[in-house]
């Protein structure tokens, strides 16, 4: 048991404190409605009362399937106050993936956004064997309407019963390299993340935060920091560029978060140059690398507001590449994932967990109070990832003399070709700088001669016809012949995961049909 004397306050307790500080301000806003800080406090209290009447044991998992909604976010806080643990189902996930998470997490309660996920919610409720209680928000064909239940339950003031040794969250990894794993955090590991974000990310003084990406994932980590600053969270249920432009202009949004693919769509949209985006102070992007040429275009057309975040389900945040680092005069930094935040100790280690020399490649390894406690029910993978007192991220990188990190690739994505170890990310970084390339992913495909052949799968910019030989020679000139793609394939689009990363598992599978395993 950890000593409560030294415990960081739980995030649900921090939330109540933030809401109490600015009772009359607007906490959440969305098309057609809003909720004040005081209103959010009251809603959380009433939902907590309903949850506690069910008598679930501390640590029981509550699963959420929702679009970006204030009431479901408040329900998550209410669950944690009641000593329940929350697990977010990915809103873009498949039925099988969501059922797997419900079963793997041993969730006993399911909360469904009935408006957006009425049919999927019904399927999950019918097929998830361990779920005992289903609540819906809005009309649905299953479960109990939570909004009606809180009317019946009546008023209740929220109270924090959660302690540092209670489970707070069970967040599932993206599963781009295998079956999704649950990263478990007790409140002692979860409490400091919002302060870490506020210390190192350039969040505006009074944030007007537009959340477009799912709050179930990284966009949700900026909700509490926004409330701690007395700001407003403006919620859209999905990425519609027209709605994004209108909301930024109308609400004078000063802070938002996008994945690179969303930014590309905005840069190619005819409304961009007709929209007043002057209120924007911070545009965070992450989940995958961004094309340097498109980043320069974004800075020129949207403004010097870009900042890149880096972290993973097992530890977030780890580093940040701030606005000042996005200087077209020093474009080499565009390829960096940033400088470690103050709340993280970061080292680049070799296979023996020894620190490598500056500029040498190694694995990003992290120590921080917000590192996960373990992978749920996976002791071997936990031991492999949390070894020698470090979280091993699986990301191979080098650091320059100032400490800026440059990711070369995922350890598992490394291509072995003709005896050379090749990191696809290095090739992607070269190809993405070509003006005709909108998106690129590099994978190894089976080859009798080389073991694996470097293959670039490219989405061309609209109206262009890139020349394959020219692209191959560009890589050869910059990186040498071992890195040069043996094949280039042009496609209309790349397969993406729900969090906006290129799904290399799906991409590679198409090339490896008929082969026993996906390595050379």
pLDDT digits (tens, 9 = 90+) for 377-399: 999 999 999 999 999 999 999 99
Is-contact 286 499, C-beta < 8 A? no
Q: Taking all residues of the chain, what is their mean pLDDT, rounded to a whole number?
A: 92
pLDDT tens for 119-140 read 999 999 999 999 999 999 988 8
The domain locations on the chain are 4-13+35-187, 193-410, 414-511
pLDDT tens for 257-279 read 998 889 989 999 999 999 999 99
337 exposure class (CB count in 10 Å sphere: 0-12, 13-18, 19+):
buried
Computed on alpha carbons and rounded to an integer, the radius of gyration of the chain in Å comes to 23
| Beta strands 144-145 and 133-137, pairing class | parallel
Q: What is the mean pLDDT of the segment spanning 78-89? A: 98
Residue for token digits 């799904």? 503
Written out in words, the top-level CATH class of the domain with range 193-410 is alpha beta
Other C-beta atoms within 10 Å of 143: how many?
21
Q: Is pLDDT above 60 for 517?
A: no
Query: What burial letters (b/e) apply to 239-262, b meaning 16+ CB within 10 Å?
Result: bebeebbebbbeeebbbbbbbbbb
Q: What is the mean pLDDT of the segment spanning 237-253? A: 96
Is-contact 496 287, C-beta < 8 A? no
Which pLDDT does position 413 carry in this prediction? 78
Name the helix (H) or strand (E) containing 296. helix 292-301
Banded model confidence at residue 499, pLDDT cuts 50, 70, 90 = low
Which pLDDT does position 178 carry in this prediction? 59
Q: What is the mean pLDDT of the segment spanning 46-70? A: 98
Closest CA to 412 of 394, 427, 426, 429: 394
Which pLDDT does position 497 carry in this prediction? 78
Q: What is the mean pLDDT of the segment spanning 318-345? A: 94
Which pLDDT does position 302 carry in this prediction? 97
Which pLDDT does position 503 carry in this prediction? 85
Name the helix (H) or strand (E) containing 241. helix 241-251
Which pLDDT does position 422 carry in this prediction? 82
Q: What is the mean pLDDT of the segment spanning 55-72? A: 97
Q: Is pLDDT above 60 for 519?
A: no
Banded model confidence at residue 511, pLDDT cuts 50, 70, 90 = confident
158 exposure class (CB count in 10 Å sphere: 0-12, 13-18, 19+):
buried
Q: Is pLDDT above 70 for 74?
A: yes
Q: What is the mean pLDDT of the segment spanning 138-147? A: 90
d(CA 138, CA 118): 9
Q: Is pLDDT above 90 for 344?
A: yes
- The domain defined by 4-13+35-187 folds into Rossmann fold (3.40.50)
Greatest C-alpha distance within the chain:
72
Closest CA to 10 of 316, 309, 370: 370
d(CA 448, CA 455): 14
43 exposure class (CB count in 10 Å sphere: 0-12, 13-18, 19+):
buried
Banded model confidence at residue 365, pLDDT cuts 50, 70, 90 = very high
Measured in whole angstroms, how far is the alpha carbon of residue 320 from the centre of its chain?
A: 14
Is-contact 105 182, C-beta < 8 A? yes
Q: What is the mean pLDDT of the segment spanning 330-335? A: 88
Which pLDDT does position 293 carry in this prediction? 83
State percent of the chain over pLDDT 90. Answer: 77
- Tell me: cis bond preceding 151? Omega within 30 of 0 counts: no
Q: How many angstroms separate the Cα of 229 from the Cα of each of 43, 209, 223, 262?
A: 20, 11, 10, 26
Closest CA to 390 of 351, 352, 353: 353
Is-contact 477 424, C-beta < 8 A? no
Banded model confidence at residue 298, pLDDT cuts 50, 70, 90 = very high
Structure token digits, residue 285: 């992007």
d(CA 457, CA 467): 13
| Helix intervals (H) in 201-256 | 223-228, 241-251
SS3 state at 176: coil
Closest CA to 259 of 289, 298, 300: 289
Which residues, including other chains, have CB under 8 Å from residue 361's CB and lie 6 or more apart? 348, 396, 397, 398, 408, 423
Q: How many angstroms separate the Cα of 211 from the Cα of each of 30, 70, 326?
A: 10, 11, 22
Banded model confidence at residue 175, pLDDT cuts 50, 70, 90 = low
Closest CA to 279 of 197, 207, 186: 207
Same fold yes or no, 4-13+35-187 and 414-511: no
Measured in whole angstroms, how far is the alpha carbon of residue 343 from the centre of its chain?
A: 19
Half-sphere CA count of 382, side-chain side, radius 13 A: 13
Banded model confidence at residue 165, pLDDT cuts 50, 70, 90 = very high
At 118, give phi and psi (nearest 5°): -55, -55
The mean-pLDDT minimum among 159-168, 188-197, 331-340 falls in: 331-340
Which pLDDT does position 1 carry in this prediction? 76
Give the relative orientation of helices 146-153 and 37-52 as an angle to the nearest 10 degrees: 90
Region of residue 403 (phi > 0: left; psi between -120 and 50: alpha; otherwise: beta)? left
Q: Is pLDDT above 70 for 164?
A: yes
pLDDT tens for 400-444 read 999 999 988 777 777 878 777 787 888 988 998 899 999 999 998
Written out in words, the top-level CATH class of the domain with range 414-511 is alpha beta
Which pLDDT does position 172 carry in this prediction? 94
**Distance in Å from the first CA to the final CA of the chain:** 47
């Amino acid at each position: 048991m950890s000593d409560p004397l030294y415990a960081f306050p739980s995030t649900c307790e921090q939330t109540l404190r933030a809401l109490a500080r600015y009772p009359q301000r607007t906490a959440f806003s969305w098309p057609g409605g809003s909720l004040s800080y005081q209103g959010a406090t009251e809603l959380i209290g009433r939902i907590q009362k309903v949850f506690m009447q069910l008598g679930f044991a501390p640590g029981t998992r509550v699963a959420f399937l929702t679009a970006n909604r204030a009431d479901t976010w408040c329900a998550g806080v209410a669950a944690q106050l009641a000593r329940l643990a929350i697990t977010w189902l990915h809103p873009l996930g498949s039925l099988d993936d969501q059922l797997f998470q419900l079963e793997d997490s041993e969730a006993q309660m399911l909360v469904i956004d009935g408006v957006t996920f009425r049919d999927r919610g019904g399927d999950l409720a019918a097929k998830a064997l361990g779920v005992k209680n289903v609540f819906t928000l809005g009309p649905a064909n299953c479960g109990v309407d939570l909004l009606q239940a809180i009317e019946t339950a009546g008023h209740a003031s929220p109270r924090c019963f959660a302690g540092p040794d209670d489970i707070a969250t069970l967040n599932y990894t993206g599963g781009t390299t295998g079956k999704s794993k649950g990263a478990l955090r007790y409140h002692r590991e979860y409490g400091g993340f919002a302060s870490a974000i506020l210390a190192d990310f350039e969040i505006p003084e009074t944030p007007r935060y537009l959340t477009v990406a799912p709050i179930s994932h990284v966009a949700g980590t900026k909700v509490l920091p926004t409330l701690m600053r007395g700001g407003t969270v403006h919620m859209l249920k999905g990425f519609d560029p027209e709605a994004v432009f209108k909301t930024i202009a109308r609400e004078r949004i000063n802070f938002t978060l996008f994945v690179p693919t969303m930014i590309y769509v905005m840069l190619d949209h005819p409304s961009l140059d007709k929209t007043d985006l002057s209120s924007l102070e911070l545009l965070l992007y992450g989940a995958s690398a961004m094309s340097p040429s498109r980043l320069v275009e974004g800075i020129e057309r949207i403004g010097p507001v870009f900042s890149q975040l880096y972290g993973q389900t097992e530890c977030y945040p780890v580093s940040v590449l701030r606005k000042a680092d996005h200087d077209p005069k020093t474009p080499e930094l565009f390829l960096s994932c940033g400088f470690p935040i103050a709340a993280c100790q970061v080292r680049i280690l070799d296979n023996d967990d020894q620190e490598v020399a500056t500029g040498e490649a190694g694995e990003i390894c992290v120590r921080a109070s917000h590192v996960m406690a373990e992978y749920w029910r996976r002791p071997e993978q936990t031991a492999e990832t949390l070894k020698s007192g470090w979280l091993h991220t699986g990301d191979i990188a080098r650091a320059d003399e100032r400490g800026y990190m440059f990711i070369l690739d995922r350890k598992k994505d490394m291509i072995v070709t003709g005896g050379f170890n090749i990191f696809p990310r290095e090739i992607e970084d070269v190809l993405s700088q070509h003006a005709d390339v909108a998106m690129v992913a590099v994978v190894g495909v089976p080859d009798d001669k080389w073991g694996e052949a470097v293959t670039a799968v490219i989405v061309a910019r609209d109206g262009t016809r890139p020349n394959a030989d020219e692209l191959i020679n560009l890589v050869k000139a910059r990186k040498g012949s071992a890195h040069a793609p043996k094949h280039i394939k042009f496609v209309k689009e790349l397969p993406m995961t729900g969090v906006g990363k290129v799904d290399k598992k799906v991409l590679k599978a198409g090339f490896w049909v008929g082969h026993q395993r996906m390595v050379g």
